[in-house]
Amino acid sequence: MAKDIYEQNNKAKDLLDQANDILGFNITAIMFTGTADELKQTKVTQPAIFLHSVAIALTSDSFAPDMVAGHSLGEFSALVSNRCLSFQDGLRLVYKRAMAMQKACETNPSTMAAILGLDDNVVEDICAGIDEIVVPANYNCPGQLVISGSIKGIDIACEKLKAAGAKRALPLQVGGAFHSPLMEPAREELAAAIESTTFNKPSCPVYQNVNASPSIDVNEIKKNLIAQLTAPVRWTQSVRRMTQDGARTYIECGPGKVLQGLVKKISPEVEVSSL
């Protein structure tokens, strides 16, 4: 993971070497040669994805975005790529976020499920009618919405949603109910870290998960970033708004092409690519 960038680009090598010092352990060794189980460690997964994304964005001579957005964790990468956060501060916040989320998961065992083939409003209505914590968490694209909540709540919701016509209701292999009220302890912990971190005026607007709206206001960006842990990721709405505001080419930075696929399902008329 990111080994090719590390070996081919001195700027990327410097950033990734810095990451080992900042985190206090050799994350690059795990990224380059670690097992799947090692990469799934909470302290590794989120920083590793962040590092892969920003190493691509910050070391490309051709990367000059007019607007940025990130899906969940990716919002931190987006804020580094538009210079709102320094690389070092972004990494520290991502690590703090990962550890706070892990602690919240251990306190309240919980989970998530992907619901395919239903309109968003149907999923919202069914979740609202369940007497357990279960909420929409990721609006990924039309017909694909991830729900989040207590284990019992997710079980009940999956049955009700399949009965309502969902093509699939797939429990996800995740550590807990991300982007739900069950992340409140993590939100409080992350809030303190965000408030004590320097945010700079960004070079371009960031379209944030919480409200799918553009912002260059530092205080608003911080407030929305804090709220993100317990609020849904409005990716469908964000891409629609970005397209409406003139985006014609979306460039994905990081491992894989998942977001390119989602963007094409949301706005088929746009171009997608990766660095």
Which of residues 63 and 94 earns the better pLDDT score? 94
**Residue 190: is its pLDDT beyond 90?**
yes
> What average pLDDT does this structure show over 226-239?
98
Average pLDDT score over residue span 36-44: 88
pLDDT of residue 108 exceeding 90, the answer is no
CATH of the domain at 151: 3.30.70.250
% of the chain beyond a pLDDT of 70: 100
- 52, 53, 71, 179: which is the annotated catalytic residue? 179
Of the listed 52, 71, 72, 110, which one is catalytic?
72
Question: Would you say residue 268 lies in a domain?
Answer: yes
DSSP bridge pairs for 111:
149
Do 100 and 140 belong to one domain? no
The yes-or-no verdict on residue 62 having pLDDT over 90 is no
- Same domain (yes/no): 251, 191: yes
Residue 3: pLDDT band by 50, 70, 90 thresholds?
A: very high
Provide, rounded to the nearest whole percent, the portion of the chain with pLDDT above 90.
Answer: 92
Q: In what order do the strands lie in the sheet with 206-207?
A: 68-69, 206-207, 214-215
Task: Say what the pLDDT of residue 44 is.
Answer: 93
Residue 30: C-alpha distances to residues 16, 25, 120, 150 (Å): 12, 10, 38, 32
**Band (41; pLDDT cuts 50, 70, 90):** confident
Indicate the helix (H) or strand (E) that contains 249.
strand 249-252
User: Residue 222 domain-assigned?
Assistant: yes
Same domain, 206 and 262: yes
Q: Which domain holds residue 152?
A: 109-171
Assess whether 254 and 118 both reside in one domain. Answer: no
Q: Tell me what pLDDT residue 254 has.
A: 84
91 and 198 together in one domain:
yes
CA geometry: angle 57, 221, 56, nearest 5 deg: 5
198 by Cβ neighbours in 10 Å (0-12 / 13-18 / 19+) ranks as exposed
Tell me: do 91 and 213 sit in the same domain. yes
Using only C-alpha atoms, what is the Rg of the chain? 18
* Direct distance between the N- and C-terminal alpha carbons of the chain, in angstroms, rounded to an integer: 15
CATH of the domain at 229: 3.40.366.10
Going by C-alpha positions, the residue among 274, 224, 186, 190 that lies closest to residue 79 is 224
Q: 176 lies in a domain?
A: no
Entry pTM: 0.95
Domain count, the chain: 2
Residue 20 has pLDDT above 90, yes or no: yes
Does the active-site annotation cover 71?
A: no
